[in-house]
Structure 1
């Protein structure tokens, strides 16, 4: 008799445990921050103080990004340029096209601001930490994932605002001032961090955990500021359960198409298994750590509804990709394959 529990597909009785592992504690902190903003939104002078603190935190966040980035490693990773090109095409070509394609459905399902958030989600660069963790779990090419995520973040600092200007234009709260804000609040601190890396690089490595908490604290402050503004302006009254479900469905569709497309393209182009794993995860994931500060700078007081699609997509990608990575890890050590139309093959 076949023991169905030994098969490689994650059966329903194992899902609750897997989902608990997939839910990042940081996401719980984000949800708690949203709840705090709903109950105690910053207003008046407090809103000004919180907004100023968020702006300073964003600059510090990107300064630390620059200080941590090893220029030598980034240049060394250019040897796998075909892999990085495919990841970039998924992040900055496939996703924007999917976002535009969803424009026909958006007026019937979402508010204008929520669809703006979907478009912004589609131009956000790939994540670094999640892609590395998932690639490592699935026994893929971790160095390639590190470089692909790094290149995506670097390119995104210039390309994300430009794509946002093209796709979103004069939509909610977006203006040319946002491009200047990107340069002054994000790019300049990043360049300063790179210039000072020679002297402070070792310090950032030694205190990686403490500085990581600082990073996450800065992002939580951005979320609190954005959602507080939405509460004081009454924006969230427009977010009905039906619209929230529609937004979640669109995010799930984006993720499914990205996973399937990157998996198919990597196989057709002849990449090895380890490289295909890195391509799938780097090409389908979106960075919360980079996207939220960018949205705060680009959209200012209108950032609240814009960041909601990215937050939902990020949690969804963690849950789904964690299950996929665990399955691929078992297959790599000789588990019995079980073909499924719902899980792309690396």
Structure 2
């Protein structure tokens, strides 16, 4: 029996290490007093900048062209904003036995965040899936998440907390939605510049998120929220997230097959429908949770690294799968259609 081949190196994302280092810095040297005010103001500006860039980089024309594969995109959106939240609500029964209420709020928020774009595309490409569909699916999910994630958080998390503050909804509009719409409006003039400086702007994105994380965790350290988390609770959270990821990976793969999608589309649905975006979730959490944001984003940070490691193994195994027989037969038929018929000599009589 052939032994399973595992990748030589699991993808411990360097950016995750940078995020963990930022958390450590906030724990050792949290911003206090005037420094906290400066960090908070800079964090607010960073969130607005992030969503402005998201809006300016999203091509409306490409998004409209991608609507032709609407069944796949609706399936991914249903996984991201319907199935995930339902599983998050089902996990409420784990409180307070396994999860504390703040950790559960973070887990539920994780289930409301949009899907990733970059890693979904990368893993779909490795596994020989439908890459153009993955690009559109990630873009649609990010676009929908601008509106759906805050609304779902207000309905689900706000209901558990006794209501969602009106000022949080106002912050969502001012810090997330308006910058995004402004970026879309200015895209025709600045889109070329963004494309030419894509790598530099990537550092701006990541640096802004690190600033948001530092400000959020500094507030959490000052408020003493970390005394609410123990190592057994963190272990329980990891187990719960592992089960959540496994359920979503199985549901997207076999559910897509039941819906009649081909292998390439099933790969896209699995990778785009089972992931959550750290880049979109962190700034949203800073707006939605305020002083509790540090603890609220912990489940998302852990899930993000877990999904990278597991999906890297799955993508490489999918890449080694043989092509389906019917695909090979279709290829042979296409060759036969374009190739001239071979002239065989007439059989000689005996």
Are 2:258 and 1:281 aligned? no
Contact 1:175 1:298 in 2 (8 A): no
Worse-superposed segment, 309-318 or 179-188: 179-188
1:185 aligns to what?
Answer: 175
2:340 aligns to what?
Answer: none
State the distance in 1 between where 2:21 and 2:160 align: 29
Are 2:128 and 1:145 aligned? no
Are 2:250 and 1:266 aligned? no
Deviation at residue 250 of structure 1 after TM alignment: 1.1
Describe the superposition over 1:110-137 as per-residue Cα deviations: whole angstroms up to 9, x where unpaired.
Answer: 2211110011011111111111111111
- Secondary structure, aligned partner of 2:96: helix
**Counterpart pick for 1:320 among 310, 315, 322:** 310
Deviation at residue 177 of structure 1 after TM alignment: 2.0
**Counterpart pick for 1:92 among 81, 95, 105:** 81
CA RMSD, aligned part only?
A: 1.5
2:98 aligns to what?
Answer: 109
1:195 aligns to what?
Answer: 185
**Counterpart pick for 2:157 among 139, 145, 168:** 168
Describe the superposition over 1:156-188 as per-residue Cα deviations: whole angstroms up to 9, x where unpaired.
Answer: 111111111111115569523222211110111
1:303 aligns to what?
Answer: 293
Q: Which runs of 5+ in 1 are unaligned?
A: 335-346
- Matched ranges for 1:193-232 at <5 A: 193-232=183-222
State the distance in 1 between where 2:159 and 2:87 align: 20
Contact 2:127 2:319 in 1 (8 A): yes
Normalised to the residue count of structure 1, the TM-score between the two structures is: 0.90
State the distance in 1 between where 2:92 and 2:166 align: 23
Deviation at residue 333 of structure 1 after TM alignment: 6.5
With over 3 angstroms needed to count, the CA separation of the structure-2 counterparts of 1:226 and 1:171, relative to structure 1, is farther
**Counterpart pick for 1:246 among 236, 241, 262:** 236
- How many positions carry a matched residue from both structures? 323
- Secondary structure, aligned partner of 1:18: coil
Larger CA Rg, structure 1 vs 2: 2
**Counterpart pick for 1:257 among 222, 247, 267:** 247
With over 3 angstroms needed to count, the CA separation of the structure-2 counterparts of 1:174 and 1:29, relative to structure 1, is farther
**Counterpart pick for 1:72 among 61, 77, 82:** 61
Contact 2:223 2:291 in 1 (8 A): no
Are 2:47 and 1:45 aligned? no
State the distance in 1 between where 2:225 and 2:159 align: 19
State the distance in 1 between where 2:48 and 2:64 align: 25
Deviation at residue 253 of structure 1 after TM alignment: 1.1
- Secondary structure, aligned partner of 1:42: coil
Normalised to the residue count of structure 2, the TM-score between the two structures is: 0.89
- Secondary structure, aligned partner of 2:297: helix
Deviation at residue 326 of structure 1 after TM alignment: 0.8
Are 2:148 and 1:159 aligned? yes
Contact 1:174 1:298 in 2 (8 A): no
- Secondary structure, aligned partner of 1:271: coil
